[in-house]
Structure 1
Amino acid sequence: MLAFVAGALFFIAFILHATETSTEVLFSPMSLMLLGLTVLAVHLAGVGAGWSSRRGRR
């Protein structure tokens, strides 16, 4: 799930950069890219993967 969020942030950053849209500092393409990399790193670290409790059925 976090990988989809990272992909969406990268896409928004690309569109803002490609169209050279003037935005505030908070939503600049570089800040969105760094936020996307942070979310991707958290995803790769295993956060948000969910816990599956295996209960042995007998």
Structure 2
Amino acid sequence: MVRLMDQIKDLQKLIKLTGDRAKLDAKANETYIVYKNAEGQIIKEYHDGQVIPVTGQDSPHA
């Protein structure tokens, strides 16, 4: 059980590091990242810190 908890903690750390890296790449390329926030809403976060919710109209696949 302890091993499983360590694996979960390691996975959470990797997920955070991946998100941090995506933000750095977005800043370097002056673009944005897309993610789901705690409320379940899809968000575009631009390199300058601007945060915009994605609506169904924004998606070419809707």
Provide TM-score, normalisation by structure 2: 0.38
Structure of greater Rg: 1
Q: Which has the higher strand share?
A: 2
Greater length-normalized contact order (CA 8 Å, ≥ 6 residues apart): 1
The structure with the largest helix share of the pair is 1
